[in-house]
Amino acid sequence: MSGRLDEEVAIVTGSTSGLGREIARVFATEGASVVVTGRDRERGDRVAGAITGAAFIAADLTDEVQCASLVDAARARFGPVTVLVNNAVGNADDRGDGPVTELSAAAFEAALRVDLVAAATMCRIVIPQMLDTGRGAIVNVSSRAAVRSSPRLTAYAAAKAGLNALARSITMDFARDGIRCNTVQPGYILNEQRDAGSSPERWARLEGQHLTRLSTATDVAYAVAFLASREAETITGIVLPVDGGSTAVRALSLG
């Protein structure tokens, strides 16, 4: 159903590529005014230019001053922010993740700064605008890794689990003010470039972990759009898996 986000002003962090870009596109098709944000200005301008009703505002979310400037610029461009999607994640090549015995404190803190602390900072800055407006929706993009371990992802998994807890805390503190906070928890998301060279054995293994089918970025984006919309006005504090049932499969396989 189109128009479910009419009159909403949304910031989608980490939206110059991948899942964030698709969330921004879907939000715009649903009627929202969308702020695309990231650090790469050239890529951001290109993404926003391809989405009707979107504008790019550059920001490094590890910098609190830039976070505040981002929110101020979004309000100046479109009006008070009513939807925040915390999707930004640190670059896997820069994260330096691994087993806890190999993970330095600096690497752990760097991952948390982008994947968790930045989301909390954005919430702290945006929520006052939502309080003034009388409503608001926040959606955190977590990961199946928060509840289902994978090798060498200690900091990433901890940060994503933190996003789940952050949503519950915001729910407790602000639900009576008309502000909702939910989490979408994707599993494996199909990626044409990454998956191009996958072997038949790998495909069989991946498909065997799903009860329905593997998810696309569009599947996840529509789940985020629903939770951000007024159709979900009585839904807050939840973690919604969008993973083809793969979390359930894992639970069943463990008995």
Q: What is the pLDDT of residues 124-144, one digit of tens each?
A: 999 999 999 999 999 999 998
Residue 188 among the catalytic residues: no
Catalytic residue among 56, 156, 174, 226: 156
pLDDT of residue 255: 39
SS3 34: strand
Strands 179-186 and 136-141: parallel
pLDDT of residue 214: 81
Edge-first strand order for the sheet with 33-36 is: 54-56, 33-36, 9-12, 83-86, 136-141, 179-186, 239-242
pLDDT of residue 201: 73
CATH no. of 9-194+216-241: 3.40.50.720
pLDDT of residue 195: 54
pTM of the predicted protein model: 0.92
Please identify every stretch of the chain with a pLDDT value under 50, giving residue numbers as ranges. 93, 254-255
User: What are the residue ranges spanned by the domains of the chain?
Assistant: 9-194+216-241
Share of the chain above pLDDT 70, in %: 86
